[in-house]
Amino acid sequence: MSARRWWIVILSFAATLGISGWIVWSGWAREGAPPLLPWWAHLAALGVVGVEILARSLKLTLSARAVGMRLPLGTAARVILGGDFAGGITPSRSGAEPARYLIMAEAGWPAAAIILVLFIELFLELVSLIIACVLLTLLFREAGGMIGLLMGVIGAWAVLVGGAGVGGWFLAQHHSRGKPPALARKLGFNAGAWRRVQRALKALRRSMGQLRQAKLSTLAAATLASLVHIFARTFVLVALVAGLQPGTPIAPLVVWSLVLMFGSSIAPAPAGGGAVEFSFKLAFASVLTASVLGGALLWWRFYTFYLYLLLGALAAGSTVLRALREKPDEVIAEAPTP
């Protein structure tokens, strides 16, 4: 990334931390600090994080296996965490997929196979989200308004993901030969780079046929793993609030966790620019006491965002930074084509 973009990241994180500090200070100044979070709540949150990472890694591994490819679980975890790190420091998580792409390319995967597996993984994410909404509607009938908001946020997320998928399909169908289109030139693809993209698009078009032979049982297992990952993220806040304010209703904790999680994915500023923290305060002002709200916010953000940044930096930090630093054509060139 350029120096200007790094300054945007720094300012966005400063705003995020500033709003967090304001929420904590305003609540604690009024009611005093809440009791310390018990050790078992920390242990539960860490356990849920481990389960969530394992579930997402398994989903990516099974997505590859469904179309006859082998992706080791360790490599899948590195791909997942590297994408989290890149997504956390870029607007609307725009750096997540280039980083995941480059990590898989360095593991020896051809471009078409990478795109196919990542497409399957994102599609299964959407399917599992729809299933999760149905299950939440059945479990928490009194939370109809919150479920409606959740479906709206997921719809916006689906438009972004679906738009990228449709764009890739269109390119594969109509621009796998010839000169680069105007949009590609604006994005920095010259004639030589576009030829590499065209080779990848041709290979992708051939590999899309593998979807017709995909093993449905493996795809179903991957969808189940995706559901585990989605609900695991919601249990982090449940565990934290159970240690700070026992007896709090579970429905708003679960539903609002999903709203904030996927809402932050479409936030234009890196780390949300404080929008996630402000939304957390609005969502739980009537559910949590002012002092508990601040403590819950701090620990929830740590276990659902900052910890993933740290793990992603340790797992694939240098690769991620290179993916963000390079031009699109240079990232494409990292992947061998079949």
| Crossing angle of helices 250-265 and 216-244, rounded to 10° | 120
Higher-pLDDT residue of 102, 201: 102
Residue range 158-187, pLDDT digits in tens: 666 655 555 555 554 555 455 656 655 655
Write the Ramachandran bin of 91: left for phi over 0, alpha for psi from -120 to 50, otherwise beta: beta
Domains in the chain, number: 1
The HSE-up count of residue 210 (CA atoms within 13 Å, CB side) is 19
Whole-number percent of the chain with pLDDT over 90: 29
- Whether residue 145 lies inside any domain: the answer is yes
User: Looking at this protein, which amino acid is placed at residue 235?
Assistant: F
Residue range 230-257, pLDDT digits in tens: 999 889 999 999 999 999 998 889 888 8
Q: In the structure, what pLDDT confidence band is assigned to residue 229 with cuts at 50, 70 and 90?
A: very high
pLDDT recorded at residue 209:
66
- Whether residue 164 lies inside any domain: the answer is yes
For residue 229, give the nearest of 43, 50, 87, 41 by alpha carbon: 50
For residue 119, give the nearest of 103, 87, 97, 95 by alpha carbon: 97
Model-level pTM? 0.83
- Whether residue 85 lies inside any domain: the answer is yes
Residue range 33-57, pLDDT digits in tens: 776 889 999 999 999 999 999 999 9
- Whether residue 338 lies inside any domain: the answer is no
pLDDT recorded at residue 338:
43
Residue 66's domain spans which residues?
A: 3-333
Contacts (Cβ under 8 Å, ≥6 apart) of 157: 129, 262, 265, 266
Residue range 267-323, pLDDT digits in tens: 777 878 888 898 899 889 888 988 899 889 999 999 999 999 999 999 888 888 777
- Whether residue 322 lies inside any domain: the answer is yes
User: Looking at this protein, which amino acid is placed at residue 302?
Assistant: F
Residue range 60-93, pLDDT digits in tens: 999 999 988 999 999 999 999 999 998 888 887 8
